[in-house]
Amino acid sequence: MKKFYLTNLIFLLVMFNLSSQNLLLEENFDYPVGTQLVGTNGWTQQGTTTTNPITVESGNLSYPSYVSSNIGNYVTINNSGQDAYKAFASQNSGTVYCAFLVNVSDAQTTGDYFFAFEPSPGNTTYTGRLFIQKDASSSNFAFGISKGTETAVYTNFDYSLNTTYLVVVKYEMIAGSQNDVISVFINPTLSSEPLSPTVSTTGGSTGDPSALEAILLRQGALTSAPTLKIDGIRVATTWNEAVKEASHEAEILSFTIPNQISSTINSLDATVDVVMPYGTDLTNLVPTITISAGATISPASGVAQDFTNSVVYTVTAEDGINVKNWTVSVTTESPTYITLVEWTFPNNPDDSIADGGISANLDKIITCTASGGVSYNASGATTMSARATGWDNGADSKYWRVDFTTAGYKDIILSSKQRSSSTGPRDFRIQYMINNDGNWLDVPNSGITCGDNWTSGVVNEMMLPAQCNNKQLVSIRWIMSSNTSVNGGTVASTGASRIDDIIVKGIEIPVFAEIIDNEEITIYPNPTIDILYINSNSSITKVNIITLEGKTISTKIENKSINISNLKSGIYIIDIETPSKSQRLYFVKQ
């Protein structure tokens, strides 16, 4: 597999290098409006004329699917003034192509050239001269080409003023003398070189240059030269690189949100489905998006979005034509419930101590206020159960009770199973109390009707009120709500109540690290009871512990550890600084 990836990487690098080598020059005049071309990005004055300098003007030219369309600005070539050249890597064999966009606003019947190749930078033996000549009987014009000073060979007068054309000048260097071929293509297909040019010439007896090393933009004679805009110049050794076709692809290649669980891209349906951890706030998420080369996307990558509902992203391909609307949906994963504490009485006999759960709850017990005492060897719904008698006259006073912590957890759910003998209590309701404050409150819709079976008095994953979330101590009681027995009479002192399979579950509150720089600092254990350790390769210069209410707590660090035993149970923020970085983390004190 590694060999496969390495092979593909080498292939991509080779293709990139080949493409870079094929392209000799690219000029989109992406400079501030008013910039004089001479002295900018390699453009050099040709000759001595400095009047009417070639200047960058606002706007750009375009041609469908041509890769250098609609980029930067353009320059205007007038019928007199300063000339400029720009060099490229010397080419003394093969073929050189120069593609560009041109829009002619005025032409003259005498005709003159505005573009040429130079054998060397600044050399005035221009070759591949491209002419514009106006029709004497109409406003149309023709393109012409010459190798040197000989008479140009022209196209028909088929071209209109104020219209943008894609022009390709091709120079083929052929072994021998006076036999190089220069061809011109007007508005060619982009995907492949046409079999026949619009016009071509060998230059007759004009000699061939030894090399091509620069392009010239020329403002010709006052009475013969055209006035035009030129833009999107590309010089290359292959057709495909000079006349490069803009990509039609409008794909989303990756869509990433920090802490995401998964991201699924479906190109056929133009959808992206992202799954975030349970409890993630979807209203302000910042995605990082990669798209097809040269394409644009709106809304942009890196911009926060509210993903409560689907968001439509519009990707426009490099060609500016193909547009694809992507629907991005972000959801949260189904919650993973953790058993916080349970009494399932698996042994015979058993006891009042919790049979499972998180470490902070393993010492919790079940109690009962019935007067007859509690045993733990009565048959239960699965194995054993807790059993008590003495429930007579117990309405609103006698109950089963458990206590536990929910620190670091939310969305607490409760399950239990109850059974009563025929003279035992029939009716119960569930109440809760927080931090032993003496204020018992009813859990809504928690009435239980027991029978002499394990199916009637079942509570299955009842959601407890939000007040029970993330608390140091939660108390739950199953309190008698009437003195009516299962057989419809009055509860007798010998009537029994049994309870089994008490299970409390919750969802761990996500603890995300806000990484402020590149190197992460970690803390452990988390949750913790007394000591919090800091793992960092650097020395710790400062530590602050902050409550969720924003109160800073005095903190002393020794050997990259902090004693937090005096903190109340709950969630805290810790800001840690080293000489080169800072990081904010969250921890749970049990």
Q: What is the CATH number of the domain that holds 68?
A: 2.60.120.200
Same domain (yes/no): 186, 270 = no
- 345 neighbors 386 (Cβ within 8 angstroms): yes
CATH code, domain with 520: 2.60.40
Separation between Cα atoms, residue 443 and residue 415, nearest integer Å: 13
Q: Residue 296: how many CA atoms within 13 Å on its side-chain side?
A: 7
Same domain (yes/no): 264, 203 = no
CATH code, domain with 444: 2.60.120.260
Q: Bridge-partner residues for 216, per DSSP?
A: 85, 116
In a domain? residue 221? yes
Q: Which residue has the tokens 């949100």?
A: 257
Same domain (yes/no): 151, 213 = yes
Same domain (yes/no): 442, 478 = yes
Whether the bond into 527 is cis, omega within 30 of 0: yes
CATH code, domain with 285: 2.60.40.2340
Burial per residue of 25-35, b for 16 or more beta-carbon CB atoms within 10 angstroms, e otherwise: bbbbbebeeeb
Boundary (domain end) residue, out of 188, 216, 242: 242
Closest C-alpha to 221, from 346, 77, 32: 77
- 322 neighbors 344 (Cβ within 8 angstroms): no
Q: Any residues with CB less than 8 A from the CB of 136 and at least 6 apart, and which?
A: 109
Is 404 strand, coil or helix?
Answer: strand
- Specify the pLDDT at position 21: 60
- Specify the pLDDT at position 521: 80
Give whole-number Cα distances, 460 to 125, 306, 405, 414, 444, in Å: 94, 35, 20, 7, 14
- Specify the pLDDT at position 131: 98
Separation between Cα atoms, residue 575 and residue 587, nearest integer Å: 11
Same domain (yes/no): 308, 356 = no
- Specify the pLDDT at position 10: 39
- Specify the pLDDT at position 352: 94
- Specify the pLDDT at position 509: 83
Separation between Cα atoms, residue 321 and residue 520, nearest integer Å: 44
Boundary (domain end) residue, out of 200, 221, 242: 242
The residue ranges of the chain whose pLDDT is under 50 are 1-20, 513-518
Structural tokens at position 161: 């003023």
Separation between Cα atoms, residue 8 and residue 4, nearest integer Å: 6
First and final CA of the chain: distance in angstroms?
Answer: 46
In a domain? residue 18? no
Same domain (yes/no): 397, 383 = yes
Structural tokens at position 17: 């290098």
Separation between Cα atoms, residue 546 and residue 446, nearest integer Å: 38
Separation between Cα atoms, residue 71 and residue 305, nearest integer Å: 29
Q: Where are the alpha helices (DSSP H) in 171-325?
A: 239-242
Counted residue by residue, the chain has a size of: 590
Separation between Cα atoms, residue 553 and residue 168, nearest integer Å: 73
Boundary (domain end) residue, out of 183, 212, 242: 242
- 333 neighbors 510 (Cβ within 8 angstroms): no
In a domain? residue 203? yes
Same domain (yes/no): 61, 148 = yes
In a domain? residue 17? no
Separation between Cα atoms, residue 467 and residue 433, nearest integer Å: 9
User: What's the total number of domains in the chain?
Assistant: 4
In a domain? residue 173? yes
Q: Any residues with CB less than 8 A from the CB of 88 and at least 6 apart, and which?
A: 24, 25, 213, 214, 215, 235
Is 247 strand, coil or helix?
Answer: coil
Q: What are phi and psi of 359, to 5 degrees?
A: -60, -35
Same domain (yes/no): 204, 186 = yes
Structural tokens at position 378: 């009565």
Q: What are phi and psi of 11, to 5 degrees?
A: -60, -45
445 dihedral zone (left: phi>0; alpha: psi -120 to 50; beta): left
Same domain (yes/no): 152, 265 = no
303 dihedral zone (left: phi>0; alpha: psi -120 to 50; beta): beta
Closest C-alpha to 183, from 417, 173, 292, 192: 173
Structural tokens at position 80: 């007199």
Same domain (yes/no): 328, 341 = no
**Helix count (H) and strand count (E) of the chain?**
2, 44
Give whole-number Cα distances, 27 to 59, 103, 118, in Å: 14, 16, 17
- 213 neighbors 121 (Cβ within 8 angstroms): yes
**558: how many CB neighbours lie within 10 A of its CB?**
7
In a domain? residue 5? no
Closest C-alpha to 198, from 150, 230, 166: 166
Separation between Cα atoms, residue 287 and residue 479, nearest integer Å: 51
Q: Any residues with CB less than 8 A from the CB of 201 and at least 6 apart, and which?
A: 145, 146, 147, 152, 153, 181, 182
Same domain (yes/no): 230, 379 = no
Q: Any residues with CB less than 8 A from the CB of 116 and at least 6 apart, and which?
A: 126, 127, 128, 129, 130, 215, 216, 218
Same domain (yes/no): 389, 304 = no
Whether the bond into 197 is cis, omega within 30 of 0: no
Structural tokens at position 66: 């041509």
Question: pLDDT tens, 183-202?
Answer: 999 999 998 999 999 999 99
Separation between Cα atoms, residue 469 and residue 105, nearest integer Å: 75
In a domain? residue 14? no
Domain that holds residue 523: 514-589
In a domain? residue 388? yes
